[in-house]
Amino acid sequence: MNTFINTIRYFFTITAELTVLFMGISTIVALILMYIPQEKIKNWMSGKGVWGNFIGAFIGALTPFCACSTIPLALGFLEAGITIGPIMSFIISSPLLNPIILTMLVALMGWRASIIYFVVVFVGAVIFGIFLEKAGASELVKNVRIVGEVPADNAEIPPAFLSKLKVSFIKAWGDFRVVLIYLLIGVGIGAVIYGYLPQDLVLRFAGTNNPFAIPIAALIGIPLYIRAETAIPIGVALMQKGMSVGAVIALIIGGAGMAIPEMSMLASIFKTKLVAAIVSVIFITAVAGGYIFNMIL
């Protein structure tokens, strides 16, 4: 009975924390984006050299978009004449770095873990964006047009601050309703793991003493497809049971970075070689990030 009570308490505590964080951060980000015209974003990403990749990764980190918005926005960047490198940096960072993910990491794993996660993924997005451009990724773009949900342009933004705030809150609520089921699933699984999964079992297969735990976790995460909102509560519960923090991070990056809907949409605008390269980039980032986390933490 004590185990059951602790499991229920864990579920409701984590759900309440993540709900408040999600709504608050989503509202703030939506409000900020209303003051940044998309034309400015495109101009910044058109910068030469590493600067364009840096801005691409930063915009990906700032925008909490799902695949239905990320891919059409990436296509818009292509049509605006932005080089492929910054677009690749944007596509890599967008599902892995956004204020919601980082805030959840701060709440559940601490500031240090969140900062390390951000640096690892951000640097990886910039480096691999440069590498993919040098490797000829621009030749692997299909000449197609995607019809999808694109973020609202400035013509739809109300002029008054309070009106902007209201629209931002409504958008945050709409985004929260979309991810709520994933969040509840993740917290529910995490609560069961927290309450009932034997600790010695986790230590045996995914503890710090198993050198292969990190690549295995990354491989499991990629085909598994779990949103970050789902993966983080599960990962934290596994970590509390003895799973190495590196394996948890590899699982989060592998699962959140390779969303099946996103990959299918990417395949409609990029050739198979480039999609495979993006999958490889996510895997390498997951494994490298996992080992870096274990070394530092």
Alpha-carbon radius of gyration of the chain: 19
The amino acid present at 83, given as its one-letter code, is: T
Overall pTM surpassing 0.75 (yes/no): no
| Both structure tokens of 226 | 């779990």
Nearest to 291 by CA among 265, 242, 260, 253: 253
Ordered alpha helix ranges (H), the chain: 2-33, 38-45, 50-62, 67-79, 84-93, 99-109, 111-134, 161-196, 199-206, 213-224, 228-240, 245-257, 260-266, 272-296
pLDDT more than 70, % of the chain: 75
Tracing tokens 């701060």 back to the chain, one arrives at 106
Report how far apart, in Å, the C-alpha atoms of 56 and of each of 89, 144, 185, 211 are: 5, 22, 31, 34
- For the purposes of burial, counting CB atoms within 10 Å of the CB of 254, is it exposed (0-12), middle (13-18) or buried (19 or more)? buried
Q: Contact at 8 Å (CB) between 34 and 166?
A: no
pLDDT more than 90, % of the chain: 6
The amino acid present at 197, given as its one-letter code, is: L
What's the CA gap between 176 and 108, in Å, rounded?
Answer: 19
Q: Contact at 8 Å (CB) between 262 and 282?
A: no
Summarised one tens digit per residue, pLDDT across range 11-61 is 888 788 778 877 887 788 778 777 776 677 777 777 667 888 998 898 888
Summarised one tens digit per residue, pLDDT across range 55-104 is 889 888 876 555 555 666 777 677 777 888 998 999 888 878 877 778 77
Summarised one tens digit per residue, pLDDT across range 202-241 is 667 666 677 788 888 887 776 655 566 667 777 777 777 7
Q: Contact at 8 Å (CB) between 297 and 249?
A: no
Q: What are phi and psi of 165, to 5 degrees?
A: -65, -40
Averaged pLDDT, 116-124: 90
What's the CA gap between 198 and 138, in Å, rounded?
Answer: 49
What's the CA gap between 237 and 45, in Å, rounded?
Answer: 38
277 HSE (CA, 13 A, CB side): 22
